[in-house]
Amino acid sequence: MGLIKKVGTRGLASSSSHEQTTQPAEAIDSLPTDLAQGGDTRINLGQPQPTPVDQSSRDAAEAPMHMLSPGSTLQERYQIIAPLGVGGMSVVYRGRDLRFKDVARYCAIKEMSQSASDSHTRLLNLKNFQREAGLLATLQHPAIPKVYDFFEEHNRVYLVLELVDGKDLEAVLDEARAPLDELRVARWAIQICDVLHYIHHHQPETIVFRDMKPSNVMVDSNERIVLIDFGIARNLNRSDRKGTMIGTEGYSPPEQYRGLAEPVGDLYALGATLHHLLTASDPRLETPFTFQDRPMRQFNPKLSPEMERIVVKALEYEMEARWQSAEEMKQALMAIPGVVAGERVVVPTMPAVIKAAAQTELVWKFTCEDELRSSPCVSAGTVFIGCYDTNIYAVDARRGEFRWKYATEGGINSSPAVWDDNVIIGSEDGGVYCLDVRRGALRWTCRTDKPIRSSPRVEDRVIFVGSDDQHIYALDGLRGSIIWKYRTWNPIRSSACIQDDVIFIGGDDGCVYALDARSGAVRWKQRTQQPVRSSPVFAEGLVIVGSLDQNIYGLDAAGGWPAWRFRTGHYVNSSPYVAGTRVFVGGVDGLLYALDVKTGRVAWKFEVGNQITSSPRVANGRVYVGGVDGYVYCVDANNGTLIWKYKTEAAVVSSPFIHDGIVYIGSLDYNLYALKA
C-alpha cells in the first residue's frame, strides 16, 4: 500500500481493479514450496499472469478492517484526525503529535491490522512491517519520508512518518486525462534518479526499491518528489540476488519475474513510469514488455526525440542494454533542452544531411476517420487500405477520390491483398473478409477466435493468414472455408512468405515456422529469443526475418538453421525487403539497415533519429520507409544518403507502396498520402 495516500487520489495500489502487486519476498519465500514456486518459475513472460498471493492476503480480504475513530489517541501522544487510505492489511491516517502544544505538527500514521487467524502468518506480517520501519530508519534523503516512531498497541503495529501534503503521480495523471508536460516529468525523473542513486549506493548494502510506479511517487506543491512505500524494498545481498517474483505487473522488469533483483530493474520500472506519464497509456492494461508496440510519440506527438530515446533505453529487455546507473540516466535527462533552468543544451537528433534534405511533392492526401496502421495496396488504378475506423477504403490512385468503403466490426491493422477481382483483409473483429474490388460488395467472411493483425497472402487461390487465436490458417480463396490450420503457442502477427509450396511465418512464441503449404505439416521451426512479428522474405536460399530479440536472421530455407545473424540496437518489428544483393530493414533503434543478403554484413545504415517499425520498399534505386517521427524517407539504395523526406502530422507505421512513380503510405494522422517518388 502507498505510504501516504491522500483524500482525492484515485485509489490505493492494493485496491485498484487493474493493478497487481505481489507480497513481500520474505513472506512468500517462507510459504510452502508449491505456492512459493508459483510466483517464481511458472510465469509466462508473454502474457499477463495472476500474481501469487499468500494466506495473509486472503485472511485480510475476508476479515473486516478495523478503523480508528477520529479523535482517538495512540501512546497518549498521537491523535487520529482522519484516514488517508486503506489497503488490504494496513491503514494510513493523518495524525497529530500532541507533544507539540503550541503548534500543530502533523504526521502520517501507518497501522498494520493483524487480522490473520494463523499465528505463523501473523508473525510474517509483523516481520515485514518491522522490516519496512527498520529500513526507512536507516535512510536519510529529502525524497524519502522520515521515520518518527514505531510501536505496538492493542495488537496492532504502528509506524509514524513524515506527512507529505501532495498527490501521487497517478492521481496527477488521472486529473490531467492526457499525457503530462515533458519538462515537468523530466524534472521529476531527475529527482527520482537522485533518490535511486542514493539507495543503490546505500552502505553497508545496496537497496533495490522493486516497485517503482506512479502511485508510489508523491509530488508536493513545490514540485518536490517523495518516494513512498518501501514495504517490498530489498537489501541486496551480493551473493544471493534471487528471490520470488515481486512488484507490479506492467512496471516490473523481465528479470524481476524470474525473482532477480538488480538496481537496473528500478531503472526499467522508472522507464515504464515515465512511459505511462508521458503517453497516458497504462502498462498494467497491456501485455508485459510490449512498450515497443506502443511508440511514445504515437500517443504524444509533442514529445521530444531526446526524451523518447531515454525512456526506450531504460525499457530495454536485456539488463546490459539499459542505463547502467541512475546517475547515467539523470545526466541524459538533464541534457534535454529546457530541463535545467537557465540552460538550453542542444542535442542533435539527426545527421546534418537530414536537416538539409529536400522536400518532395504531395500529389494528394485522403482523410479517413481514424489512424492508418495498415499498408496500402494498389491494383487496377485503385488504392486499398484498412483503417482503425473499422473500414477498408478504396481510393482512386490518380486523383485521391473516394470510391467505396466497407465496414467491419473492428479496427483494421492488417494490410489488404488483391487476388483476381477480390480484395482480402483481416480485422480486429477476428474476421477475414473477401470483397469485390470494384464495388466493395462482400463475397465471404471467415471467422477466427481472436483479432487478425497478420496480413493475408495469396498463392494459387489459397489465402494464408495468422490470427491472435494462435493459429495459422489456409483458406479457400473462392469460398473462405478453412483448408487447414496449424496451432502455435502465441498470437501470429507476422505475415507469410510463400516459396516452392512452403510458407514461412513468424510467431509471438519466438519461432519462425516453415509449413507445407498444401497440408500445414511442419517442415521445420527455428526459435529466436523473443516474438517474431516481422514478416519473412526469401532470397538466395535463405529466409530473412527480424525478431524482437534485436536480431535479423538469415535462416537456411531447407533446414531452418541460421546461416547468419545480424545484431541491431533494439527490437526489429520491420519486415525486410530484398533488392538485388541487399536486404533492407528498419529497426526500433532508429536505423535503416542495408545488409548483404548472403552474409548479413552491413553495407550501410541510415539514422533517422527515431524508431522505424514501417517496412521499407525499394524502387528505381531508392528505398522508401516511414518513421515514428512522422516522416516518410527516401534514401539512396546504393549508399544510404537521404534524397528527400516528407513530414506528416503523426507517426508513420504503415509501409509504402510504390506504383507509377507515386509513393502511397498511411499515417496515424488519419491521412493516406500520395507522394512523388
The binding site consists of: 110
473 bridge partner residues: 465, 485
Residues 6+ positions from 88 with CB-CB distance below 8 Å: 1, 14, 15, 57, 60, 61
CA distance 237 to 246: 16
Alpha-carbon 34 to chain mean position: 31
Per the DSSP assignment, residues forming a β-bridge with 106 are 96
Q: Which residues pair with 407 in a beta bridge?
A: 391
Place of cell 480485422: 427
In angstroms, rounded to a whole number, what is the distance separating the alpha carbons of residues 561 and 514? 12
Which of 181, 168, 193 has its CA nearest to residue 269?
A: 193
DSSP tag of 237: B
List C-alpha distances in Å: 78 to 109, 158, 166.
8, 11, 21
Q: Calculate the alpha carbon distances from 145 to 127, 196, 247, 665 in Å.
A: 20, 14, 20, 53
Q: How far is 646 from 361, CA to CA, in rounded Å?
A: 9
Helix extents (H) in 239-282: 254-257, 263-279
Torsion over CA: 251, 254, 259, 261 (sign): negative
Q: Cβ-count burial of 500 within 10 angstroms (0-12 exposed, 13-18 middle, 19+ buried)?
A: exposed
- The answer to whether residues 464 and 517 touch, using CB atoms and an 8 Å cutoff, is yes
Q: What angle do CA 290, 538, 598 make, to 5 degrees?
A: 100
DSSP run (H or E) holding 47: none
d(C-alpha 451, C-alpha 376), whole Å: 20
The stretches of 201-357 forming alpha helices (DSSP H) are 254-257, 263-279, 296-299, 305-314, 326-334, 352-355
Strand partners, 617: 624
CA separation, residue 508 to residues 434, 489, 512, 656 (Å): 26, 8, 9, 24
94: its cell numbers: 493523518
Location of C-alpha cell 526500433: 588
> Are the C-beta atoms of residues 656 and 617 closer than 8 Å to each other?
yes
- Find out whether 261 and 241 touch, Cβ atoms under 8 Å: yes
| Residue whose cell numbers read 497491456 | 286
Element (H, E) at 640: none
Which residues are documented as binding site for ATP? 110
CA-closest candidate to residue 56, choices 114, 100, 107: 114
Query: How far apart, in whole angstroms, are the C-alpha atoms of residue 25 and residue 207?
Result: 14
Supply φ then ψ for residue 30, to 5 degrees: -90, -5
CA 12 to chain centroid, in Å, comes to: 23
User: Distance between CA atoms of 467 and 472, rounded to whole angstroms?
Assistant: 7
Q: Are 367 and 380 in contact (CB under 8 A)?
A: no
